[in-house]
A and B are shown apart, each in its own frame.
Chain A
């Protein structure tokens, strides 16, 4: 398969540390699918929140700078982390639509960016640019019989009119992806609920409760594994399972995987390159039981 095109790639802070498994698997999968993630040179933090106070221009500067620099390198920017995606995409839209703020931002960062970059999540590239049927053809080891719960969280979907990712209440894109891998998507009511996000810093016990409800709902609906796109969600629903267990003694842990780990596994990458050692709940017993590794 020849090169479809290369995409500018903004990894974001956590993909270089606690979520290396997301970063690395995505890069490797891209190569198998015939495109390359071209990492932005000199990227900075996106700020990790889109400022909701309308007068907070300062917080728009980091994502604006990322966008402006990316535009010098190409036309399409992709991210994996749902929060980075949300912040960068919303900032891009704001620069497109708000002339006054655009001028202020450009004056401050001393660049001239007009908002003419396409910002796509990696899943969107898989669906729109490559196509799920085409990916299905590349699957070497279908994840047959794996009951996987697609957990969207908030940032991919909301606000709907700005993100335009999928239906805001009943999204299906992620399930379609899992089907292409040969897995059995499990529908569960908490798939678009918040994981507690940064409350894991402000009120950790509240985030623990959010994680418990999401996982409990997935398990109740038959999930064997929960699939995530976001290092923030993954911390709250994977790493915080130790906190959940402390509070709810009968809670049975469930592995949480990044969607790119599943993609890599289905496309036949060696499981030892998929970074499972960074997942808090060890998925290997389940994957062995299913005969995938």
Chain B
């Protein structure tokens, strides 16, 4: 992917917003990749958590919000537990979800009406409740 950096992009409000929601200092990240290395779902991610943090720091809002990384995060906190800089990365992933889910158009990430037949009966409610909290606006 070709990425164009401009002064405007780097100094935009996006990273500040993510920092505010997550309560984390993103600028502490030195891109060691420990989070991505330990992530149990990194295999399915378009880019690793550390890369999304880099996009965010560079103000590349569209790129950061356009990948599937934070949607796949299961909040297992392995990244948080292993970050040598003490960043609670799971909170950063949640904040990215929130940036999208809190937009005015309220676009949900999953559509309940599209669940296959039998899905509601099969899956325990604990999965629905936590899933809905993560994926619905």
Contacts and interface: CB of A to CB of B under 8 A. Distances in A.
B74 A196 contact: yes
Q: Which of A55, A194, A200, A201 has the most CB of B within 10 A?
A: A201
Interface in A43-58: 45, 47-49, 51-56
A62 B129 CA distance: 13
Given A202-B134, A203-B44, A239-B122, A158 B78 contact: yes
B91 A49 contact: no
Contact of A194 (B78, B133, B134, B135): B78
B74 A14 contact: no
Interface in A65-83: 81, 83
B48 to A, nearest CB: 15
A17 B75 contact: no
Nearest to A230: B126
B124 A52 contact: no
Interface string B46-83: 00000000000000000000000001101111101100
B37 interface: no
B23 interface: yes
Contacts of B134: 49, 198, 202
B77 to A, nearest CB: 4
A209 interface: yes
Interface in B115-137: 122-135
A197 B74 contact: yes
A48 B22 contact: no
Is the contact region of chain A dominated by helix, strand, or loop, or is it mixed?
A: loop
B77 A158 contact: yes
Contact of B130 (A49, A160, A193): A49
B123 A154 contact: no
B135 A52 contact: no
B interface, how many residues as a size bin?
35 or more
Nearest to A232: B126
Interface string A1-37: 0000000000011100111000000000000000000
A91 B65 CA distance: 29
B133 A206 contact: no
Nearest to B90: A52
Interface residues of A, number: 45
Given A52-B75, A193-B40, A47 B129 contact: yes
Given A17-B125, A47-B133, A197 B81 contact: no
Contacts of A197: 74-76, 127, 130
A210 interface: yes
Contacts of B90: 52
Interface string B90-115: 11011100100000000001100000
Contacts of B40: 193-194, 196, 210, 213
A17 B135 CA distance: 24
Q: Which of B40, B122, B127, B134 has the most CB of A within 10 A?
A: B127
B102 to A, nearest CB: 9
A138 to B, nearest CB: 31
Contacts of B32: none
A158 B123 CA distance: 24
A222 to B, nearest CB: 22
A49 B75 contact: yes
Contacts of A53: 21-22, 91, 94-95, 98
19 contacts: A19-B124, A47-B133, A52-B88, A52-B94, A53-B21, A54-B91, A81-B126, A158-B80, A159-B80, A160-B81, A197-B74, A197-B127, A201-B131, A202-B72, A209-B41, A209-B44, A210-B40, A213-B40, A235-B124
Given A48-B130, A49-B134, A203-B72, 6 more contacts: A18-B124, A54-B22, A154-B78, A194-B78, A206-B44, A210-B41
The 8 A-B residue pairs with the shortest CB-CB distance in the complex, in nearest-first order: A201-B131, A194-B76, A52-B94, A54-B23, A198-B131, A158-B77, A48-B129, A48-B130
